[in-house]
Amino acid sequence: MNAFEKLLGKDNPLYLAVQERGFETPSEIQEKSIPEILKGKDVIAGASTGSGKTLAFAAGLIKNISSGKGLQGLVLTPTRELAEQVSKELKFFAKHKDLDVTAVYGGVGINPQIKKLESVEIVVATPGRLLDHIERNSIDLARINTLVLDEADRMLDMGFRDDVKKIIRKCPTERQFMLFSATISPDVLHLIKDQIKNYVEISAKDYVDPKKLKQIYYDVRDNLKFSLLKYLLEKEKSDLVMVFCNTRKNVDFIVNNLRSLGIDSLAIHGGITQDKRNKTMLVFHSKEVNVLVATDVAARGLHIDGVSHIYNYDIPDEKKEYIHRIGRTARAGKEGIVINLISMRDYENFSRLLPKELGIVEEKTPFIEQVQVRWIPGRGRDSGRDKRFGVRDSMRYEKREREDGTRDSGRGRIHSSVRKEDYNSPKKRSRQKPNRSEGSRSSGYSRSKPSTDGFREKTDKSGFRGSRGGRTSSRKSSESSSGRGFKKKFSKRY
């Protein structure tokens, strides 16, 4: 007898879908939670993205819901992409019971959603857009018999606590409740403490295989970080690659410059329309383009098979965000590698990760050619858009701009890739604003040649320029390109 046949039952409509998918062995979370779910019990389960939890709560939805009797099942997710992904999976799992499933989220027109809501049995929704429908009376939760919170910890991180509580109160008290979260924290339990009294708590081991995961970091100067990323993307043999940034600007900076250098890549962040984000994910899933550059918010909860490399271009502020990032590789027995690019501005965040505890080891910085970047983050309105995937082209070509809000050790940074003769021309200099940053003697910006990676280099003993000028840097860099400060400050500790 097949393991899923034993778990679900031969006559279960879900079992037929599982057979079509070719699933043979249940994951740990499926094996532990499905028997309890099929008994009708409320379940709180600790399970990470990609662990098979969608199939687990699908078992309860399909068992409890009848075709043609209106909306009976509700799944809440933190992001649009996850709502779309879960909806797609549930449509497949529920097809042998003829259940209609739709996704409801913001960023797209509400009227087409209202029309679809008239005839569905299961809705997958983000909290904000669902409340919009509740206020418009375009959705009726009175017959909900199965309620699922997916990625509950992330909903809390994103500030949806009050919205989720409002939605739960709108649902009948007599219903099956399932909550899935990467971590079962006190905050998660507090969210639902007044809603369910008797529940089964289930936890599964991390789906990522630590024996198959390699974590390394390169200590590199700020002005060589992009150059090192390009070098590694070309050198490393990889399947799908994800590059994580902390800001939209850096996502755009990387994608536009990689494309200008002949490396096709995709971007996903909150500044891109939902339709184009969906298209981007389809292209990435199909492996037509194998490099995806993303912010954490846009990529939250996405399950993508076949990711072999994770690059952290920016180090996240919190350790749990780092764990979420690296959880997308080294899955199901496959090998994966996480590469952290560490410059001086990343030291504080990197120290919070406790790299020694996580097993992150330093890799020798290779000899690299400094890349001449062509795109820099601009200010004001977008100068254009990539029509294929909706990447915000907010980069200004060959124009000197000050990066908003960036500070490093009290000194303001500038992004610049303007030609030397333009930069030093009297006309250009006359337009320059005074540099009021701490530690600068001059009343204006230095006229020394700007960094080709878009950042002003800092003055140090190796001859890199700061706001006071100095010797120019070599275009060839090696291990000496790594930041010395990190090793002095952190080498004993990490």
Query: Residue 163: what pLDDT?
Result: 97
CATH number of domain containing 361: 3.40.50.300
Last residue of a domain, one of 328, 344, 372: 372
CB 448 within 8 A of CB 435: no
Which tokens sit at 328?
A: 């997308």
pLDDT tens, residue by residue, 113-153? 999 999 999 999 999 999 999 999 999 999 999 999 999 98
Does residue 265 sit in the same domain as residue 367? yes
Gap between the Cα atoms of 249 and 84, Å rounded:
25
Which pLDDT score is estimated for 55?
96
Listed residues 372, 402, 431: the one ending a domain = 372
Residue 197, number of CB atoms within 10 A of its CB: 7
Boundaries of domain holding 78: 3-203
Ramachandran category for residue 493: left, alpha or beta (phi over 0 → left; psi -120 to 50 → alpha): alpha
Does one domain contain both 267 and 186?
A: no
Q: What is the pLDDT of residue 439?
A: 38
b/e for 168-191, b at 16 or more Cβ within 10 A?
A: bebbeeebbbbbbbbebeeebeeb
The whole-angstrom separation of Cα 171 and Cα 301 is 25
C-alpha count within 13 angstroms, C-beta hemisphere, residue 324: 23
Alpha helices in 336-416 (DSSP H): 347-352, 355-358
Domain-located, residue 414:
no
**Looking at the domain assignment, is residue 114 inside a domain?**
yes
Instruction: Report which DSSP code applies to 466.
Output: B
Q: Let me know whether 219 and 302 are in one domain.
A: yes
- Cα–Cα separations (whole angstroms), residue 138 to 68, 118, 119, 127, 162: 18, 8, 12, 15, 21
User: Is residue 478 included in any domain, yes or no?
Assistant: no
**Do both 244 and 169 map to the same domain?**
no
- The residue from 348, 372, 396 where one domain ends is 372
Whether 214 and 194 map to the same domain: the answer is no
The count of other CB atoms within 10 Å of the CB of residue 379 is 12
Predicted confidence at residue 490, as pLDDT, reads 54
- What pLDDT, on the 0 to 100 scale, is given for residue 302? 75
Q: For 274-289, write each residue's pLDDT tens digit.
A: 889 889 999 999 999 9
Using CA atoms of 296, 297, 300, 304 in order, give the dihedral in degrees to the nearest 10: -60
Specify whether 326 is located in the same domain as 248.
Answer: yes
Q: Is residue 228 part of a domain?
A: yes
- Tell whether 297 is covered by a domain: yes
Whether 417 is covered by a domain: the verdict is no
Q: Are residues 198 and 221 in the same domain?
A: no
pLDDT at position 29, please? 92
3-state secondary structure of 60: helix
Instruction: Confirm whether pTM is higher than 0.85.
Output: no
Kindly state whether residue 379 falls inside one of the protein's structural domains: no
Residues 91 and 20 in one domain: yes
Number of structural domains, the chain? 2
Asked whether residue 356 falls in the same domain as residue 230, the answer is: yes
Asked if 281 and 298 sit in the same domain, the reply is yes
Task: Kindly state whether residues 271 and 154 are assigned to the same domain.
Answer: no
Residues making up the chain, counted from first to last: 494
Regions of the chain short of the pLDDT cut 70: 1, 206-209, 298, 301, 332, 378-494
pLDDT of residue 195: 80
Both 37 and 89 in one domain: the answer is yes
